[in-house]
Structure 1
Amino acid sequence: MEFKTLADSSIKDILAVFNLSFSDYVVPFHLSEEQLIFKINAEKIDLNLSVGAFEDGELAGFILQAEKNENGETIIYNGGTGIVPEHRGKGLVRKMYDFIIPILKKKNADVLLLEVIEGNNQAIRAYENLGFTKVRRLLCFNGNIKSGKRQSAINIRELKEFQWDKFRSFWDIEPSWQGCISVLDRIQNDLITFGAYENEKLIGYLIYNPVIRKIYQIAVDKDYRRKGVGTSLFDAVGNGQPVSFNNIDDVSENTSRFLSEKVGLTNWISQFEMKRFL
């Protein structure tokens, strides 16, 4: 078995192994080539930092990784680990990390970050044995938006650009990797941002991808909560519209309750965010 970065690997080869690896996953899923390219671009996946396990020149497993600098730290995010069934049980995940970590240390990386589905105990134990620890639990929601009563005093407008300084002032929690600022800035042209206004004051916002029907962020000014602002923002997306909204920190009980009781979404699965310091 040979280990090297995916810099010279084709999208078609990565896609074939990706789909085979996840065909019997805890939550099986399948990507098209277009969807994989979108994932790589959106999540800032860098094939020079990603690693593959090769048997006789054929890709047998991979770790897709991305990099960002935040608060003085260089963070390396695992955007997906996959091993084809016939090569499982050979310690390939550890061996791929053993190969790539020295490369990451030379780049002065500080933190490794990943998400793993709650209940995937084998994977959780494997990552814990590699030195990862759970840092927070993330809730994933989906379902159809139920009809809500839009407040007449709240005006919903489509925003032309992100107003991050203002948006951040509404936050209680930091978004996970897929909803973080650096990722959303890269895919802004694919997104719709709704702003909620009262008397020309921005009091809340929602960021949405209409093609894949995914909510990335929603937040409301602390002084305007429980006044129908969030309901009005979801109503702008569309009553009855099926959507997903992933990786909400479970410490935000108000958000979880709002999504289930007011919006009508279901917490269908949860994940652990795990970190390892280098």
Structure 2
Amino acid sequence: MNYAFRDFDESQFIKLHQAFIGAFSEYFVTFQPPLEQFRNRIFNKLHLLPSLSLMAWHKDEMVGFMLHTVNVYQGKVTAYNGGTGVIPSHQRSHIATQLYEILLGRMRDQGTITRVLLEVVEQNTKAARFYESLGFQFTRVLRCFSLQGELPKISPDIEVKKSDLLKTEYLTHLSFQPSFLDSTSQLPHNLANEIILEARIGESLAGHLVFQPQNGRISRVAVHKDFRQQGVASALIQNALMRSGDPKLTVMNIPEDEHPTIEALKAMGFHNELNQFELELII
């Protein structure tokens, strides 16, 4: 078949959503965001860059897509792949290969981007093999957790309130650098759709949590080292549960070697739902 490849245009958003739903209709996990959640995901959380986001068309149907943004992450100018898909009826047509051939050429021509970063669900061995064939290499395992049902126990000495600012002081709470989408440079793009919570013990700022109430996704939860194992994270999680529009809270992309964080999540009742492989291509 003959395909046309065109840069993303906002007028194509509805067709992109339809293509996205179709491409992930047979995915390993349920991944069918409603229209407005998808809009927030693409334009805010990802902060899509149209010049590095390409659509594949067959006649008047969008049959494939590859979405990128660019930001500084871990000190490097990084292009992040926030979504690649081909609808089932056009798979095995090498569309994804052609999309990346075009986009990698553009990235190299720009001269500032040093790498491409993405995540692949552990079970998606087909996608992992595809990216490895392009030169992507494994960097780390990222674990994803969910909580549904029981509220964690909290201490009455911990006060949790909303904050209107993503404060630089929060950086002192972090025990590891969050993954790309929740990094300090990327997270501000989506603050209109996030709630920031602060936990205080007396006058001390003990921890913070940032989450999306419309889908229950926790972007960041962190506690200052002086206040860990005192119920601060539980207090933040409970407050997020009360404010969430989704009864299921999720925490994405915790590095596999962050054992204290993982054990703390398990102690609060979170379950490791799935894992992702982070892959990197140096360009």
TM-score (norm 2): 0.90
SS of residue in 2 equivalent to 1:181: coil
In the alignment, structure 2 segments of 5+ residues that lack a partner are none
Partner of 2:139: 135
Q: CA deviation at 1:50?
A: 0.5
- Per-residue CA distance 1:122-170 (angstroms, 9 max, x = gap): 111111111111111111111225333322332222222111x221112
- Per-residue CA distance 1:16-49 (angstroms, 9 max, x = gap): 1111111011224223322221111221112221
- Taking only aligned residues, the RMSD between alpha carbons, in angstroms, comes to 2.0
Counterparts of 1:161-240 in structure 2, within 5 Å, are 161-163=165-167, 165-238=168-241
Q: Check conservation: 1:7, 1:48, Cα contact below 8 A.
A: no
Q: CA deviation at 1:77?
A: 0.8
Counterparts of 1:104-183 in structure 2, within 5 Å, are 104-107=107-110, 108-144=112-148, 146-163=150-167, 165-183=168-186
**Which of 4-13 and 95-104 deviates more?**
4-13
Letter of the structure 2 residue corresponding to residue 268 of structure 1: E
Q: 1:45 aligns with which of 41, 44, 48?
A: 48
For 2:279 and 2:70, locate their aligned partners in 1 and report how far apart those are by CA, in whole Å. Answer: 16
The structure-2 alpha-carbon separation of the partners of 1:113 and 1:167, relative to structure 1 and needing over 3 Å to count, comes to: same
Partner of 1:252: 258
Partner of 2:282: 277
Q: CA deviation at 1:8?
A: 7.0
User: Are residue 268 (structure 1) and residue 273 (structure 2) matched?
Assistant: yes
SS of residue in 2 equivalent to 1:10: helix
% same residue: 28
For 2:218 and 2:114, locate their aligned partners in 1 and report how far apart those are by CA, in whole Å. Answer: 29
TM-score (norm 1): 0.92
How many matched pairs?
276
- Per-residue CA distance 1:207-261 (angstroms, 9 max, x = gap): 1222212211011111221121111211222379421111111111121121122
Q: CA deviation at 1:9?
A: 5.9
Q: Check conservation: 2:71, 2:186, Cα contact below 8 A.
A: no
The structure-2 alpha-carbon separation of the partners of 1:254 and 1:8, relative to structure 1 and needing over 3 Å to count, comes to: closer
Partner of 1:90: 93
User: Are residue 13 (structure 1) and residue 18 (structure 2) matched?
Assistant: no
For 2:271 and 2:161, locate their aligned partners in 1 and report how far apart those are by CA, in whole Å. Answer: 27
For 2:57 and 2:50, locate their aligned partners in 1 and report how far apart those are by CA, in whole Å. Answer: 15
For 2:207 and 2:179, locate their aligned partners in 1 and report how far apart those are by CA, in whole Å. Answer: 19
In the alignment, structure 1 segments of 5+ residues that lack a partner are none
Runs of 4+ residues deviating >4 angstroms? none
Letter of the structure 2 residue corresponding to residue 155 of structure 1: E
- Per-residue CA distance 1:40-73 (angstroms, 9 max, x = gap): 1221112221012222353221101111124552
The structure-2 alpha-carbon separation of the partners of 1:147 and 1:33, relative to structure 1 and needing over 3 Å to count, comes to: closer
For 1:9 and 1:135, locate their aligned partners in 2 and report how far apart those are by CA, in whole Å. Answer: 36
Letter of the structure 1 residue corresponding to residue 184 of structure 2: I
